[in-house]
Amino acid sequence: MTRSNFTLKKIFLFIALLYASPFIKAQNIELEQIITIPKDTIYLGEISNIKINIKSLNYAIDSISSKFTKKLPSKIHIYKERPWSKINEQTWEKQLFITGFDSGKFILPPIDIEILYKNKQKTTKLNIDSIALNVIPMPIDTSQAFKPIKDIYDIAEPPSQSKWWIWLLIVIAIIILIIIIIVINKNRKKKKSIEAYKYNPYISPIEEVKQSLQQLKDNNGITQMNAKEYYTKLTDVLRRFLFRLYNINAFEMLSSELFIEMHKYCNAKDLLTNLQIFLNTSDLAKFAKYSPTIEERFRDYEFCEKFTQYLWEQEQLKNQQHE
């Protein structure tokens, strides 16, 4: 086995070290090996790419394996080791990426190589000599003035200005939606209020009450209508009657306000007590999903008949006294 002399070529900062054996003869096999080192001197932390190239001149290579004969120096680290790769049928290559963590001159141990050929019958073993690698510190420009080391401080992240307009549109959309809901509710209440105030001017308030109550009874509203609808119609009959009889805004008043207002026109304590019971039951049925019994429905129906008749008679009596 023969080995070519070690050659060193330096072009600018690029150094290539080539170990070449153009004719290694073993078992009638001719081999050529080339080792390429871009730099034999590297800075701390810099990576050197060492390439090992094996070429058989007369046989196709099936596989190659290799290993260092000794342990690497502790200050030298293999950053990456690529497996043997086939360039062509007779040429294979391996790459080692090596770096150093301390300055000094280090020797990579020899490498044993085993070559297996296509027919599986022949094997060649080679040995690559140790490789020198010089690691030096990074040069420092001492001509420049040293700057003091500053303390660590938090850097406030600038507010995101790329999406502010999206949030603005969302806020505007929410405001518009709220306004639309308010307007719809107002219009609905206004429409309901207008419908509630409508009455037949050609009949007296008490006659209207009797007709409305009789219609509610004929339609089986007392027993079959759902509680909320039934008590809504019943209270509308009473409030419309009070609006016509006393010219008060009965539909705009809360139940508590209407109860207090009736003290001006009704002196019968039992009727006022029953009025409070009726208004409370009505509010529970309309706003709290309370379902009154059939007895309670008939009781409140009869109360509206009796209460409106009493107020009508009292008002007629007052008119006669004034005449």
Give the Cα separation of 297 and 240 in Å (integer): 20
Compare 160 and 294 and report the one with higher pLDDT: 294
Residue from 67, 124, 56 nearest 96 by CA = 67
Residue 125 carries which side chain, given as an amino acid letter? K
Domain assignment of residue 217, yes or no: yes
Let me know whether 11 and 102 are in one domain: yes
Domain assignment of residue 142, yes or no: no
- Report whether 104 contacts 13 (CB < 8 A): no
Q: Which tens digits make up the pLDDT trace of 74-83?
A: 878 887 888 8
Compare 151 and 64 and report the one with higher pLDDT: 64
Give the Cα separation of 207 and 172 in Å (integer): 52
Let me know whether 99 and 209 are in one domain: no
**Domain total in the chain:** 2
Is the pLDDT at 22 greater than 60? The verdict is no
- Res 275: pLDDT: 96
Least confident of 31-35, 151-155, 288-292, 296-300: 151-155
Let me know whether 123 and 213 are in one domain: no
User: 100: which 2 tokens?
Assistant: 């150093």
Domain assignment of residue 168, yes or no: no
Domain stops at, among 136, 151, 175: 136
Query: How many Å is the Cα radius of gyration of the chain?
Result: 53
Give the Cα separation of 115 and 94 in Å (integer): 13
Domain assignment of residue 191, yes or no: no
With 0-12 CB in 10 A as exposed, 13-18 as middle and 19+ as buried, what is 126? buried
Let me know whether 214 and 315 are in one domain: yes
Q: Strand 41-43 and strand 29-37: pairing?
A: unpaired
DSSP 219: T
Q: How confident is the model at residue 311 (pLDDT cuts 50, 70, 90)?
A: very high
- Report whether 137 contacts 43 (CB < 8 A): yes
Let me know whether 315 and 226 are in one domain: yes
Let me know whether 103 and 224 are in one domain: no
Let me know whether 125 and 225 are in one domain: no
Give the Cα separation of 82 and 129 in Å (integer): 20
Domain assignment of residue 50, yes or no: yes
Let me know whether 122 and 230 are in one domain: no
Q: How confident is the model at residue 9 (pLDDT cuts 50, 70, 90)?
A: very low
Domain assignment of residue 171, yes or no: no
Contacting residues for 117 by C-beta, under 8 A, at least 6 apart: 29, 56, 59, 60, 61, 62, 123, 124
Is the pLDDT at 19 greater than 70? The verdict is no
- The domain containing residue 118 runs over which residues? 7-136
For 167-205, what is the HEC assignment? HHHHHHHHHHHHHHHHHHHHHHHHHHHHHHHCCCCCCCH
Q: CA-CA-CA-CA torsion for 141, 142, 147, 150, nearest 10 degrees?
A: 70
